[in-house]
Amino acid sequence: MPKVQKSGWRRFLRVLVYLSLILLILIGGGLGIGWYEKKERKERQDAVRVEVEYAPEQCRDTHPLEVRILNSGEYTISRTKFSIIIRRKDHSSNLAAPWMFDLESDRIIQPRKGYGMCFRYELQEKYERFNKLEDLVFEVRNKQVYFQFN
């Protein structure tokens, strides 16, 4: 009996289905890896706290803000960038001078350690009339932490 040849159309569809499945597996794997890396990066960032407090007893009068970087994670910190926001109680406007939006520490901080430093603060010229410490709230925002990976 003569052999019946499969049509080229069927073979094309079969190859197309196999290639589609392989492509879906690759895309799914890539998305899974991307999700996992994003989750890990967020966990590393969340393990680091940056706090600011008006603390003239810890710091000099000219630099009365104490900024603490606390590393409760498993990785060594190589650099920390952050902004200090100053606002009046029950208000949302940022009174801080522009240079306070881009602060940085290159202090290397080991896992489960911390580091404190003192900063001066300055209000924008148009807000200097609000410089009553009992009315000011100091906050850290826009934290970015860089880690050492050996």
Mean pLDDT check: name the lowest of 10-19, 44-53, 63-72: 10-19
Tell me the pairing of strands 76-88 and 136-148: antiparallel
**Which of 73, 66, 68 is closest to 146 using CA atoms?**
73
3-state secondary structure of 63: coil
pLDDT in tens, 52-111: 999 888 888 789 999 999 999 999 999 999 999 999 999 999 999 999 999 999 999 999
